[in-house]
Each structure stands twice: as structure tokens, then as C-alpha cells.
């Protein structure tokens, strides 16, 4: 698809910066740059979204198919693997028939994604954890892979900025593997969770804390406190959880400096080869299929790790035949996704609390920070790095009760007091986990699709086996019975934490980006999303993605002020 045949975008050009993607990082990039006075074009491949579409209060009986719609099965077989894709909101998720990708035989990968304003920030789990120098400098400790070219001290001020704006509820713990942040009051733990916290600390010395969540526990920054209705993935009319359309993107547009362009499916970055500079992007209008261009002094990709890398791979030129800004050859490689599938669950028979269908639904769980292979010790002989747990405990209806009639109803209503922990393990960065362009496959807009090659290795298998066994030990310490252990390794993509493929590094021969997310090869081209990660750690990555974006924008704004673009 050549820019020579593109129709000129009717909007005034050029912009100072073009931001591709309106999710967690794209929203921040647009906000920071626009509020600094730069003229920004924010491109989103999907449509705009309205709170009128939110269905968090809609009862299930109003669904036509009771969440068994044949349309979802037909058009979104991959997306349906995501817990958040349901009849309430499935139109937010991509149509798999229009957005294909390929994988090798025997190596499945599930790519779960949205194409609406805000992207996955509308349905994310909101767990928000800082990385520590045990993560940023892990290679120096165990000899595997590469250190990040930044340290915790470099990123800490930007974690502060993001947390102060977003509103993260949580509790300070002083844990070496999980730096404390700027927290709103924590959500309350259940009685069973408090018991687990006490027993685990006494027997193992590990920390059990309430999850650190991008959900407000008090009115904050013009948004209302959460009222605990529960199903956040269906939207939030009070904007109590963080999503970019109603926070960062709203601020960017309100500045008067940001032009939002929706339904803009970006195909490639356009280059001025004589100057070795990006001069803008070409996109296809999602609805009309018209090809258009936008011009700008800087191009910033925030489309999501795999999508940003796909754009670069599809932007090959004579000077960069293997993908734009890919003199290192690293573009597309080192794909990571947290490994999940290991854990344990059971019941706490000493708690007699009856379940209640009308009680508040806390949109959060508990978290146990990594305790294996830490700076202070606890080195494991079978694996490097480690895992953390997410889970919870509380009364629930016993839908698996046996019997019929009155006895069955009684058993269901009496319920059980369940408890469970699931591991999230580090995915090691490997060269042979990669993405490339599938030359035989295109999406509905004629843009070449990705071929994704990834498998978890022996280290990830060992992590989940240990996570399962240790979870069972911790539940047993709390008095749990009927403990069920799972030591599975789910297919890559199931954590929905795709990272890597355009890693940062100080050495341009080994990395695509410098420490400020600027491509080594093209000085006005940036990638500010999870593609930049050097290692995955085991914490949920979105908070770190946002902090990295704010840091990169800080440096870019300074360069604009110095006329260095």
C-alpha cells in the first residue's frame, strides 16, 4: 500500500506529534504533549465510545442470548477466550474474521484486543504494581538476558506522577520486591484474607496484601469513588476505575491542542529517506476504506506491543528492509507474556458467612509479591526469577452442590467459604519468541498481518509447578480443606500482558529503542508501550508502561523546546 496514492487528510498539517493508539499509554502521550503546548494528532483505529454503552448495571436477563450469542462465537472465537469479552460488550473487541494473525502448528497464541477509543483500558484488570531494581537489573543478579538501561530511581518520579493522577488504592508494605507508591485508602480485606495474611506471615514470612488497583476508594480528581457494583469490564458510569477516554484523552482534547482522529487503521510510518526522518503515517479509514495521510514532526507508536511492532515491520524501506528502525535485527524478537495456570483453591470450613447475591462486589483481590530469588535470599534451585499471586477469599453460592429439589436449594444457599491463589510468573525474554509479517495474510483493510511464534519454556513450567505447590501450602496454613492444585501452563497470550518486540537498550546493535523510547535509527520516531520492555518481571505491566511513557514525553518536550526534532 503506497502513500503515493493516498488522499490528503483534510485536517490542517503538519502536527508536532502524531500519537498512534489511544489506550493507557497513548492517552498519556497525548495528554502530556498537548498540555505542554504541542499540536497533537491522536489516531485510534476504532470508533469513539460513550458512557451510554456501559452495562455494568444491566441484569443478565436483558441479554438476548444470556451471554451465549452465536454472533460472538462466529466473529470472535479468539476474543471469547478473554474473560472480559461477553455479550454485554463484545463489539468493543476486534472481529477476528477482519483481524487475523497466524501461528505455527502446535504453538497457539491468543491475542486479545479491542478497537475502540481507549482500547484495553476499558476492560483491564486495573492491578497496578511498580517494578523494583530486582526487576530492572535482574540480569546483573542471575546472569540471564540484559538489564534495562534505566533504574528504579529513573522511573520513580514518573510512577509518582501517574499514581497521583490515576488514583491507586492500596496499602504500603515495605516489601523489597514491590516498592510502595502514592496510595488512596486500601479496600478492605475479607475475614478469610486477613486470616491468610496472618498465617502466611507467621509461617513463611511472606506478605499478603490487598491488591493495588486503579479504582478510586474516595472521590478524586473529579471522579467518584467506586460503589462496588463489580463488573468493571462492562464500563463504569462513575469513571471510578481508570480508563483513558474519560481521563487522559479527555484532558488532551480539552487542552485545545489535540485533534482526535477515530477509525484510523494505521498501516505504516512514512519516511523522508533523504533526511532519515519519519514524516507521518498512512492510515486506512476503517469505515470508508479510504487511504489517508497525517504529517508530523514526531511519530509516537502506542498501539499496543504487537500492533506497534507490526506497524514498524510493515514500514520497511530500502534503507530498512527488515522493518523500520531495525538495524539491530531485534525488532519483533523477545516477545513475552506472563505465564499463568499454576495455583490452588479450597474452602475455609471455620467461616460460616452466608453468601448474598446483593452484597457489594469488591473489584479487587489480594496480592502476594514475589518471594523467590530475591535480593535477600530464598534462591530456588530449579528456576530463576519468580512469580506473584493474585487471589481472594469469601462466601460464595455452592453451585456444584449435589442433590435435588429442596435439599439442593438449601446446599446452594448455605454456600461455601472459598479461597484461591493464582500465580503470575515472569516470562523470560528469548530471541526465538518473535513476531514477523505473514506475507500470505492480510486484514480487512489490506494490511499484512502478523505471524506470532511463542512458547513458554522450562523455566516458566518450573515457576508454575512451584506456584501450585506453594499456594497449596499457604492455603493449608490458613486451615483450608478440599484443596485443589493446578500446575498448568496456559497458552501464551492468556495473561494479556504482551511485552517486548521493540526493546530498549543503550547499545543500538542490540536494541530498537534508547532509554527514552526513541528509536536508535530514526531520531523522531518513538515506541511508548509494552514493546519497549527488556524483561517482563512478574507484576502487571500497565502502571510501568504509563510511567515510561510520561518519562519519554518529558524528554521529548524538552527536545521540542530546544528545537532538536
**Positions of E strands within 311-415:** 339-347, 366-368, 387-396
Helix (H) or strand (E) holding 482: strand 481-487
Coil, helix or strand for 280? strand
| Mean pLDDT, the chain, whole residue set | 96
Yes or no: say if 200 and 480 are a contact pair by the CB < 8 Å rule: no
Whether 494 shows a pLDDT value over 50: the answer reads yes
pLDDT in tens, 443-489: 999 999 999 999 999 999 999 999 999 999 999 999 999 999 999 99
Cell (9 digits) for 72: 460472538
Question: Tens of pLDDT along 216-262?
Answer: 999 999 999 999 998 999 999 999 999 999 999 999 999 999 999 99
What does the pLDDT read at residue 222?
Answer: 96
Residues 6+ apart with CB under 8 A from 332: 309, 313, 323, 434, 435, 436, 501
pLDDT digits (tens, 9 = 90+) for 190-224: 999 999 999 999 999 999 999 999 999 999 999 99
Given this model, what pLDDT does residue 514 score? Answer: 98
pTM metric for this prediction: 0.96
154-179 per-position pLDDT tens digit? 999 999 999 999 999 999 999 999 99
Residue-wise pLDDT for 16-36, tens only, equals: 999 999 999 999 999 999 999
Provide the CATH number for the domain formed by 3-561 in this structure: 3.50.50.60
Could you state, in order of their start, the residue ranges of all structural domains in the chain? Answer: 3-561
The maximal CA–CA distance of the chain, rounded, in angstroms, is: 80
Alpha carbons 228 and 168: distance in angstroms, whole number: 16
Q: Return the higher-pLDDT residue of 373 and 407.
A: 373
* Nearest to 115, CA basis, from 75, 171, 166: 75
**Pair 424, 540: CB distance under 8 Å:** yes
- How far apart are alpha carbons 432 and 394 in whole angstroms? 42
Q: 146 is written with which cell numbers?
A: 540484559
8 A C-beta contact, residue 126 and residue 213: yes
> What does the alpha-carbon distance between residue 295 and residue 523 come to, in Å, rounded to a whole number?
16
Instruction: Using the predicted structure, report yes or no on whether residue 332 has a pLDDT greater than 90.
Output: yes
Sort strands 291-301 and 525-527 into parallel, antiparallel or unpaired.
Answer: parallel
Residue ranges of the alpha helices (H) in 362-432?
Answer: 405-414
Amino acid at each position: 500500500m503506497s502513500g503515493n496514492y493516498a488522499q490528503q487528510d483534510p485536517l490542517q498539517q503538519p502536527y508536532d506529534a502524531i500519537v498512534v493508539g489511544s489506550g493507557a499509554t497513548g492517552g498519556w502521550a497525548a495528554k502530556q504533549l498537548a498540555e505542554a503546548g504541542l499540536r497533537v494528532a491522536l489516531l485510534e483505529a476504532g470508533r469513539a465510545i460513550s458512557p451510554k454503552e456501559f452495562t455494568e448495571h444491566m441484569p443478565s436477563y436483558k441479554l438476548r442470548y444470556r451471554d451465549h450469542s452465536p454472533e460472538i462465537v462466529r466473529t470472535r472465537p479468539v476474543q471469547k477466550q478473554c474473560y472480559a469479552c461477553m455479550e454485554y460488550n463484545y463489539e468493543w473487541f476486534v472481529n477476528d474474521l477482519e483481524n487475523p494473525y497466524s501461528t505455527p502448528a502446535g504453538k497457539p497464541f491468543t491475542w486479545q484486543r479491542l478497537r475502540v477509543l481507549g482500547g484495553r483500558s476499558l476492560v483491564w484488570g486495573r492491578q497496578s504494581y511498580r517494578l523494583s531494581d530486582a526487576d530492572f537489573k535482574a540480569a546483573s543478579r542471575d546472569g540471564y538476558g540484559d538489564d534495562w538501561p534505566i533504574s528504579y530511581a529513573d522511573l520513580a518520579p514518573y510512577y509518582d506522577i501517574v499514581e497521583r493522577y490515576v488514583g491507586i488504592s492500596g496499602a504500603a508494605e515495605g516489601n523489597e520486591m514491590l516498592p510502595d507508591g502514592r496510595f488512596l485508602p486500601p479496600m478492605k480485606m475479607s475475614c478469610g484474607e486477613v486470616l491468610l495474611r496472618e498465617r502466611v506471615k507467621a509461617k513463611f514470612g511472606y506478605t499478603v496484601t490487598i491488591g493495588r488497583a486503579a479504582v478510586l476508594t474516595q472521590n478524586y480528581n473529579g471522579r467518584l469513588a467506586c460503589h462496588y457494583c463489580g463488573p468493571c469490564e462492562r464500563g463504569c458510569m462513575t469513571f471510578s476505575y481508570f480508563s483513558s477516554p474519560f481521563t487522559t484523552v479527555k484532558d488532551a482534547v480539552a487542552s485545545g491542542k489535540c485533534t482526535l482522529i477515530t477509525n484510523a487503521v494505521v498501516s505504516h510510518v512514512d519516511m523522508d529517506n533523504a533526511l532519515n526522518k519519519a514524516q507521518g503515517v498512512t492510515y486506512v479509514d476503517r469505515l470508508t476504506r479510504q487511504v489517508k495521510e497525517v504529517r508530523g514532526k514526531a511519530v509516537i507508536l502506542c498501539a499496543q506491543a504487537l500492533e506497534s511492532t507490526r506497524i514498524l515491520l510493515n514500514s520497511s524501506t530500502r534503507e530498512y528492509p527488515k522493518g523500520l528502525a531495525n538495524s539491530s535485527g531485534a525488532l519483533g524478537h523477545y516477545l513475552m507474556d506472563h505465564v499463568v495456570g499454576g495455583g490452588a483453591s479450597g474452602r475455609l470450613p471455620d467461616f460460616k458467612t452466608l453468601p448474598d447475591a446483593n452484597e457489594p462486589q469488591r473489584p479487587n483481590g489480594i496480592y502476594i509479591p514475589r518471594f523467590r530469588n530475591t535480593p535477600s535470599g530464598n534462591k530456588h534451585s530449579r528456576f530463576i526469577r519468580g512469580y506473584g499471586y493474585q487471589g481472594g477469599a469469601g462466601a460464595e453460592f455452592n453451585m456444584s452442590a449435589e442433590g435435588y429439589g429442596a435439599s439442593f436449594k438449601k446446599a446452594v444457599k448455605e454456600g461455601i467459604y472459598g479461597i484461591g491463589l493464582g500465580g503470575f510468573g515472569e516470562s523470560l525474554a528469548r530471541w526465538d519468541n518473535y513476531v514477523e509479517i505473514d506475507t500470505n495474510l492480510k486484514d480487512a483493510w489490506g494490511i499484512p498481518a502478523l505471524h506470532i511464534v511463542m512458547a513458554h519454556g522450562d523455566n516458566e513450567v518450573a515457576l508454575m509447578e512451584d506456584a501450585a505447590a506453594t499456594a497449596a501450602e499457604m492455603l493449608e496454613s490458613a486451615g483450608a480443606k478440599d484443596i485443589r492444585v493446578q500446575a498448568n501452563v496456559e497458552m501464551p497470550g492468556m495473561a494479556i500482558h504482551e511485552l517486548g518486540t521493540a526493546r530498549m537498550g543503550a547499545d543500538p546493535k542490540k536494541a530498537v529503542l534508547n532509554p527514552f523510547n526513541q528509536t536508535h535509527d530514526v531520531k523522531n520516531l518513538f515506541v511508548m508501550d509494552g514493546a519497549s520492555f527488556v524483561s517482563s518481571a512478574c507484576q502487571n505491566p500497565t502502571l510501568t508502561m504509563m510511567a515510561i511513557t510520561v518519562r519519554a514525553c518529558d524528554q521529548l518536550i524538552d527536545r521540542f523546546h530546544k528545537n532538536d526534532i
